Structure 1
Amino acid sequence: MGTILNSLSRNKLYILLAVACLVGYSWLFFNYRSGTETNPDGSGVCIFKEVTHIPCPSCGSTRSAISLLHGNMTDALYWNPIGFLLGIILVVVPLWLLFDVVFQKDSFFRFYKKSEATLEQKKVAVPLIILVLANWIWNIFKAL
């Protein structure tokens, strides 16, 4: 089983991740400064929720990450545990990429390849899918 990212070279992967992190930082900055995750007309930013009126598994992730920035761990967990993962990614990935670029290494690329191979195993993928589904059910129950 392969993915589109499986064919990416080290440099293309690093550029993609750097841009994704930059977009993530920009999104958090915009929402942190405005104090809202909805548009002025009251509509949200989640296309899935706008169409189905059901929150997606990642709904609340922005509020979770902003709660983390405020040091509110309990609120962050309530809004969406995925926010913790996003926070870790937004801190670790840019530093790791910078390390690899400065020291001409490929440690993150090797980690990515190993992680991808691990995630393709049923014994790993199925429990992770169950966790995402459980989080989704919780989001629906909370009516995010």
Structure 2
Amino acid sequence: MRTRGAILLANIITGLALGFTVSNIGFVDYAELNRMFTFQDLRMLLSFGGAVVIIACVFAVLRVRRTPGRIHAGVIPGAVLFGIGWAISGGCPAIPIAQVAGGYLPALVTIVGVAVGIRLCRWASARYFRLDRGSCGL
């Protein structure tokens, strides 16, 4: 059985490794992200593809199996909004944290936007859609 301290340490080390990796690939640079989204530079898009191939191999080795279920009605519009927000702000929820760590303070606006978006999603889900809190991410 793992202790909380060991799990926390593993999470910190993994987070630092992820931050280092995404910073070196260029995922914290708005101009790089813009070139990816406008298909001017396929390097970062291929990085995404490589990550998908690696995780698929890890899942195969670990024999991780998920039974495909019914797709939630909010997945498609949520994915579209997520992509639009990423293209405009230059960051998904994790990237602005690395940007702030690298000294790019305007990313704080993106972090606030993520927090407000999650709150609005939870409010709308509870009031109008009767969905559980887990459907809004974090």
The alignment's TM-score, normalised by the length of structure 1, stands at 0.29
More relative contact order, 1 or 2 (CA 8 Å, 6+ apart): 1
The alignment's TM-score, normalised by the length of structure 2, stands at 0.30
